[in-house]
Amino acid sequence: MEKTFYITTPIYYVNDVPHIGHAYTTLACDALARFKRLDGFNVHFLTGTDEHGQKVEKAAADAGISAQDFTDKVSQNFRDLAVAMNFSNDDFIRTTEPRHIVAAQEIWRRLLASGHIYLDKYAGWYSVRDEGFFTESELVDGKAPSGAPVEWVEEASYFFDLSKWQQPLLDFYAAHPDFILPETRRNEVISFVSGGLRDLSVSRTSFNWGIDVPDDADHIMYVWLDALTNYITAAGFPDITSDTYQTRWPADLHMVGKDILRFHAVYWPAFLMAADLPLPKRVFAHGWWTNEGEKISKSLGNVIDPYVLIETYGLDATRYFLLREVPFGNDGDFSSQAMINRINADLANDLGNLAQRVLSFVGKHCGAAVPTPGTLNAADHALLARAESLITRLRYHYDAQAFHRVLEETWEVVGAANRYVDEQAPWSLRKTDPERMATVLYTLMEVLRHLAVVTQPVMPQAMASLLDQLAVPASARTFTDIGAAGALAAGAALPQPVGIFPRYVAA
Ligand code: MSP
């Protein structure tokens, strides 16, 4: 049977300019999507924009244009970011698209038909910034827990009977211990749900920018019900007999930031259960970045612009840093010093130098062709075995969304290769034992090939360049080429080597 993998990012609010938070969530998904493709999965990787709601309506009004014109214009910023970051998403969904409106209204009809939605009146606090409802007791110093201002809202509203889903949700979490990760977040969700759930207001009448509630022109759908549905829209819902739906739904992974976990791990599964639809297999909540120790905020003016990072440090170095520096799931701090340290130590020094030294030596002293190895000794076999078996450990870490572990394990092999160079001293074998020199260089090139193949998901461009320099054909760069199957052909001509990771020198 075909192996499939459906992975999603949150859909981003269009009123913001793309910042490191957006880039981070999608980057993690991109690395995983690329890994799964190389591992033979039919991957569907979805990202997109969340375009309805009061916040967007206000932003459009401030800009003096219609909400539709506003979203058409600013959603492009997120497509541009995807190109700039070299994201490999297969689809980009906008919640203003007809396919999504159809799907969201169908979910609504299902919830209504099964008796899980009823009409009443909402009176309570609402935060436009969070697009969330709060009770008096949830407010902190008169604000939402996130610090966002709240306003008093009193209006006719449809409600979803979330209170009835407490036990089914708890049972589901218990039966699926990997549904919410990391575990600390899972525990938080369980304790929140254990504390009891209130029915949820799922429609608004006081503004217009949203999806119409079917058969009630006064109401539009609550933006989170609309937004969460995007994941199943892109799987072909409501056409549930289609191949697309059958192969994609339920999603394998919803990647989200910790701030929006509750919507994904409580509301969304409850909506799906109530609509009698299968639940996604996992929701992973990652942490937040601070900037040089400070919380990132527009008002502090310390928002990290991904374009500036790419421009300053290079795209693949930025991708590497974001996934390597912080254990995925934890909060982390961005600092330019930490970035420079990673670039100069891990990339320029450890991997870049290794590749450069081997390739330029082969270029000069082996006729710019893959050397012909003699018999491999124990040290050669040991190093190659480490490089070849890396994939098994990486599969495990990718499946746990432990991107930092992926890179740590990979760099252990880089370290072993550097020690091997020191021990085998190929440069001094040139005069004394050219055959042994060829064997050592061949072994090193094979190790570089494996490192490049498995690191493509994180640094696609740099690793493509390294594979080009090793004369690995484009058709031999997947995980089926690991080991003997893709071994470098002795005698193959090599191009002129070029450095892949320059040292960062402050301007
Ligand atoms: N529109 C909703 C999601 C709907 S999904 C059905 C939304 N949009 S958002 O534009 O605010 O999303 C932002 C994403 O970026 C979230 O995953 C959030 O956690 C992430 N980040 C925002 N700031 C961040 C940091 N400082 N650090 C890391 N990620 C952060 O929420």
Q: What is the CATH number of the domain that holds 87?
A: 3.40.50.620
Do 100 and 210 fall into the same domain?
A: yes
Q: Identify the H or E element spanning 364.
A: helix 353-365
CATH number at residue 404: 1.10.730.10
- For residue 443, what pLDDT band results from cuts at 50, 70 and 90? very high
In a domain, 440, yes or no: yes
pLDDT at 96: 98
Do 109 and 177 fall into the same domain?
A: yes
Q: What is the largest CA-CA distance in the chain?
A: 89
Ligand 1 centroid–CA 48 distance in Å is 12
Q: Which of 76, 92, 81 is nearest to 27 (CA)?
A: 81
In a domain, 330, yes or no: no
Question: In the predicted model, is pLDDT for residue 300 greater than 90?
Answer: no
In a domain, 321, yes or no: no
Residues spanned by the domain of 356: 336-486
Neighbours of 493 (CB within 10 A): 9
**Pair 275, 232: CB distance under 8 Å:** no
Q: Alpha helix locations (H) across 221-334?
A: 223-228, 230-233, 243-248, 261-262, 268-274, 306-313, 315-324
Distance from C-alpha of 358 to C-alpha of 343, rounded to nearest angstrom: 20
Distances from the Cα of 187 to the Cα of 6, 184, 254, 287, 499, angstroms? 25, 5, 18, 15, 47
Question: Helices 353-365 & 460-469, crossing angle to 10 degrees?
Answer: 20
Q: Alpha helix locations (H) across 149-242?
A: 166-175, 183-194, 223-228, 230-233
Q: Which of 198, 64, 89 is nearest to 136 (CA)?
A: 198
Do 101 and 229 fall into the same domain?
A: yes
Radius of gyration of the chain (CA): 26
**Pair 258, 286: CB distance under 8 Å:** yes
Confirm or reject: Cβ of 12 under 6 Å from ligand 1.
Answer: yes
- For residue 429, what pLDDT band results from cuts at 50, 70 and 90? very high
| Number of domains forming the structure of the chain | 2
Ligand 1 centroid–CA 271 distance in Å is 21
In a domain, 360, yes or no: yes
Ligand 1 centroid–CA 274 distance in Å is 26
Please give the model's pTM, rounded to 2 decimal places. 0.96
pLDDT at 91: 98
Task: Give the mean pLDDT of 18-23.
Answer: 94
Do 257 and 348 fall into the same domain?
A: no
Do 36 and 117 fall into the same domain?
A: yes
Question: What b/e string do you get for 449-481 counting C-beta neighbours within 10 Å, with b at 16 or more?
Answer: bbbbbbbbbbbbebbbbbbebbbbeeeebebeb
Do 282 and 368 fall into the same domain?
A: no
Do 252 and 373 fall into the same domain?
A: no
- Mind listing the pLDDT tens digit for each residue in 79-107? 999 999 999 999 999 999 999 999 999 99
pLDDT at 332: 95
Do 277 and 355 fall into the same domain?
A: no
In a domain, 305, yes or no: no
Do 39 and 185 fall into the same domain?
A: yes
Distances from the Cα of 452 to the Cα of 88, 108, 438, 472, angstroms? 18, 48, 21, 10
In a domain, 167, yes or no: yes
Confirm or reject: Cβ of 271 under 6 Å from ligand 1.
Answer: no
Do 214 and 352 fall into the same domain?
A: no
- Mind listing the pLDDT tens digit for each residue in 29-81? 999 999 999 999 999 999 999 999 999 999 999 999 999 999 999 999 999 99
Distance from C-alpha of 374 to C-alpha of 376, rounded to nearest angstrom: 6
**Pair 208, 57: CB distance under 8 Å:** yes
Do 222 and 112 fall into the same domain?
A: yes
In a domain, 308, yes or no: no
Structure tokens belonging to residue 17: 């300019």
> Looking at ligand 1, which atom is closest to the CA of residue 22?
15
Do 200 and 264 fall into the same domain?
A: yes
Q: What are phi and psi of 45, to 5 degrees?
A: -115, 115
- Nearest CA residue ID for atom 24, ligand 1: 21
In a domain, 443, yes or no: yes
> Looking at ligand 1, which atom is closest to the CA of residue 50?
1
Polymer length in residues for the chain: 507
Confirm or reject: Cβ of 50 under 6 Å from ligand 1.
Answer: yes
- Mind listing the pLDDT tens digit for each residue in 196-221? 999 999 999 999 999 999 999 999 99
